[in-house]
Structure 1
Amino acid sequence: MSRYFHKVAPIFPYKFYSRLSMLFLILVSVQSCKSTTALMKKEASLTDTQATRETKYLFNKIKEIAKQGYGFGHQDATAYGMGWKNKAKEYRSDVNDVAGDYPAVYGFDIGHVELGNIQNLDTVNFGQMKKLIQKADNAGGIISLSWHAHNLISGGSTWDTTAFVKHIIKGGSLHTPYRAWLLRVADFLNDLKDKRGNAIPVVFRPYHEMNGAWFWWGAGNCTPEEYKTLWRETVDILSREFGVHNVIYAYSPNGLNHPEDFLRYYPGDDYVDMLGLDIYQHGTTEEFVEQLRRDIPLLKKIATEKDMPYALTEVGLNTIPVPDWWTQVFDKEMANSGIAWALFWRNAWPDHYFAPFTGQGSSEDFVRFKKLPHVLFLKEVKRIK
């Protein structure tokens, strides 16, 4: 192309090239709009029948991501990292410091929004969180929200397993204050706006890891039927009563002890848009690999039958002590798994982090991981239209 223009330069005047360049830019723009419109027009069967067109677009994009590889995600990626915290003066991430690009998926938690607090349970200011979400969305990233809600009956944390689910579903003595909680959640979700004033679409996975016993909504702290009712009522109240239409609802159990655990608490296809699993490496590499090889095929099978995208909604190895863990352990198991993304947990303290930072022992391997063609960071996911 460049040689062609060099040859004809003496023949045609400058204005010709200006007009030709403008025509080229218009054609590129039109083609880009066509691709975006095509993805917008694709069918998207979501729980919320009034979901915004941006939410439907995101749902279709998530499906497209899985066809090209899987996205890398990180919890609180731009809120804080090792030795720094975003106080609205800088925009960075440990991941970008190491690999030269930001995550494709940004995880945030809205725990304590239900209390009316100004910051979440991990000391991230909610106003700041909204700005970080807006910036990530504007850059082409995907937002995933979890909700470590307080214990309404005891006043304790989300890990206080005092049972009360039966009291907050309809007919229960605490249903009214629970609705007040959901109104605050709705206000937060509805206040997520892009620069054009449109609601920013998010993947929301409330009441995750329900097959574990460590949360008040978990196994042993409520019955499967109570859990299903809580989920359905939560979705209905948010979407039908409080006007939340920018949410893709994700159901994400913890790693499975038994295959039937995955659907034991499942609220039904009409109330779920996306499936996930939370799987951490707590023991040996061999044990972790064994669990991935057991659980991911089951997740894929169920998701395929339901025609839903699926992801590793939480994953990681704390402090990443294995130098080549990214390429020789994790990616070897995930490369052709069909997951849309893997969301690694946060970088909180020197003994609690799940992504590398400058100088961390797995950093070099992480750079190799980032360069794999099927591992997608922000720049690659942004191109998927």
Structure 2
Amino acid sequence: MSCKSALQSSARHIELCDLNAHENARYLMARIQEIAKTGYAFGHQDATAYGIGWKNDGTLHKSDVNEVTGEFPGIYGFELGHVELGHAQNLDTVNFQLMGDLIKTAYENGGITTISWHPNNPTTRNSAWDTTSTISNILEGGILNPKFKGWLYRLAGFLNSLKTKSGKPIPVVFRPYHEMNGSWFWWGKKSCTPEQFKQLWRETFEVLTEDFEVHNLIYCYATDAVEDTTEYMNYYPGDGYVDMLGIDLYHKKTTEEYIQLLNENLDMLAEIAKEKQMPFALTEGGLEGVKVVDWWTEVLDKNISNKGLSWALMWRNASLNHYFAPFVGQKSSEDFIKFKNLPHVLFLKEIEKIR
């Protein structure tokens, strides 16, 4: 039996929280689990949508990561904020039709896509960062519940549009309502109790799966940095609504403090994941501007490579004032190439083989 057929065979026995999940979603979960046995994958947000000095107009197959290393990331992050409003572009000005095409290309090449969603505040219609209380309005029975279900209908429309050339669903990892233990989003701790958050997650899951028949998702629960297990689990909606675990850890203070943060948080998360028998990932991270020349090998890899995570996704390259992966000429580029060449760090070519 070949490795490919063995993985496909094991996928048939995988149970996801969506009991009607398409076989492609179960196969994606099998691949995610397999990655961690080999190493961890490298990911980048909006990797093929834009970079430093360029933006994809639909004619490019490009990324800053590829320009530096000659290889594409194994994990592609995309954002669906503003899909709920019916806009043509997301909140970072990526056209949704183009995004769908980029996700299809990534899938055809053997890559894995993870999707976040920063919906606007349903009460004020301002951005996700407007912390005006809204949660009681949108839960079942709330005055804005029909409106929010309309938003979920538009979200479902995009997710269900992700199809292969033969018409089969393209599976993605869905990471909604992340960093809920922080106070900067309308679903965060400043504006939402843990019980309200759990109910929001469960209702979102039920509406997507039951009302709108979205069956190509792996559901990922991801917090910001936490003090302990209790804080991580405080908003957890239950094993019946989550398939994998994540955490967002950015290098904001000193290098020594970030190293401590990575080790403490990822060791904790590894324990939870082991208990729940779920894969886990560093779902967002990075050092803005990558100011440390050997950050990739000496800071990131040395402190995540032995944790058992499936991937580490760096945030986006929006501009010279806001980027998290190197580009040609950036001072950490040489170290990034060394990082790419480490046998346990998996880019697209290595991920493609895990099939």
Q: Fold conserved (TM > 0.5)?
A: yes
**Out of 246, 255, 259, which is 2:229 matched to?**
259
- In the other structure, the counterpart of 1:34 is 5
Answer yes or no: is the 8 Å Cα contact 1:64–1:384 preserved in 2: yes
Structure 2 residue 350 is matched with structure 1 residue 380: yes
**Out of 11, 16, 19, which is 1:49 matched to?**
19
Structure 2 residue 240 is matched with structure 1 residue 270: yes
C-alpha separation between the residues in 2 aligned to 1:106 and 1:358?
Answer: 20
Answer yes or no: is the 8 Å Cα contact 1:79–1:124 preserved in 2: yes
The aligned runs of 1:181-260 (5 Å cut-off) are 181-260=151-230
Answer yes or no: is the 8 Å Cα contact 2:245–2:278 preserved in 1: yes
Give % identity.
54
Structure 2 residue 324 is matched with structure 1 residue 354: yes
1:173-219 Cα offsets, whole Å, 9 max, x none, are: 11000000000000000000111111100000100000000000001
The aligned runs of 1:274-313 (5 Å cut-off) are 274-313=244-283
How much has 1:241 moved relative to structure 2? Answer: 1.0
Answer yes or no: is the 8 Å Cα contact 1:82–1:347 preserved in 2: yes
- In the other structure, the counterpart of 1:171 is 141
How much has 1:163 moved relative to structure 2? Answer: 0.8
**Out of 356, 365, 369, which is 2:335 matched to?**
365
- In the other structure, the counterpart of 1:337 is 307
For residue 52 of structure 2, what is the amino acid of its counterpart? M
- In the other structure, the counterpart of 1:126 is 96
- In the other structure, the counterpart of 2:130 is 160
C-alpha separation between the residues in 2 aligned to 1:160 and 1:31?
Answer: 51
Instruction: Sort the Cα spacing of 1:117 and 1:371 in 2 relative to 1 into closer, same or farther, 3 A.
Output: same
CA RMSD of aligned residues (A): 1.0
Answer yes or no: is the 8 Å Cα contact 2:7–2:30 preserved in 1: no
Answer yes or no: is the 8 Å Cα contact 1:65–1:71 preserved in 2: yes
C-alpha separation between the residues in 1 aligned to 2:251 and 2:229?
Answer: 19
Residue 262 of structure 1: SS of its match in structure 2?
helix
For residue 295 of structure 1, what is the amino acid of its counterpart? N
- In the other structure, the counterpart of 1:324 is 294
Gaps of 5+ in 2: none
C-alpha separation between the residues in 2 aligned to 1:167 and 1:274?
Answer: 28
For residue 106 of structure 1, what is the amino acid of its counterpart? Y
1:227-261 Cα offsets, whole Å, 9 max, x none, are: 00000000000001100000000000001134311
For residue 346 of structure 1, what is the amino acid of its counterpart? R
C-alpha separation between the residues in 2 aligned to 1:81 and 1:244?
Answer: 31
For residue 145 of structure 1, what is the amino acid of its counterpart? I
The aligned runs of 1:17-32 (5 Å cut-off) are 31=2
Task: Give the structure with higher Rg (CA).
Answer: 1
How much has 1:337 moved relative to structure 2? Answer: 0.7
Answer yes or no: is the 8 Å Cα contact 2:76–2:113 preserved in 1: yes
Answer yes or no: is the 8 Å Cα contact 2:51–2:64 preserved in 1: yes
How much has 1:36 moved relative to structure 2? Answer: 4.9
How much has 1:37 moved relative to structure 2? Answer: 3.3
For residue 9 of structure 2, what is the amino acid of its counterpart? A
For residue 300 of structure 2, what is the amino acid of its counterpart? F
C-alpha separation between the residues in 2 aligned to 1:284 and 1:123?
Answer: 32
Structure 2 residue 79 is matched with structure 1 residue 109: yes
Answer yes or no: is the 8 Å Cα contact 1:39–1:61 preserved in 2: no
Residue 240 of structure 1: SS of its match in structure 2?
helix
For residue 350 of structure 1, what is the amino acid of its counterpart? L
C-alpha separation between the residues in 2 aligned to 1:101 and 1:141?
Answer: 12
1:74-106 Cα offsets, whole Å, 9 max, x none, are: 000000000000001111000000011100000
1:121-162 Cα offsets, whole Å, 9 max, x none, are: 000000000000000000000000000110110121010000
1:32-91 Cα offsets, whole Å, 9 max, x none, are: 6634533433x2121100000000000011000001000000000000000000001111
- In the other structure, the counterpart of 1:84 is 54
Answer yes or no: is the 8 Å Cα contact 2:228–2:268 preserved in 1: no
C-alpha separation between the residues in 2 aligned to 1:37 and 1:244?
Answer: 22
1:319-367 Cα offsets, whole Å, 9 max, x none, are: 0000000001110001111000001000001010000000000000000
How much has 1:31 moved relative to structure 2? Answer: 4.0
C-alpha separation between the residues in 2 aligned to 1:148 and 1:220?
Answer: 16
Gaps of 5+ in 1: 1-29
> Which moves more between the two structures, 191-200 or 208-217?
191-200
Answer yes or no: is the 8 Å Cα contact 1:73–1:342 preserved in 2: yes
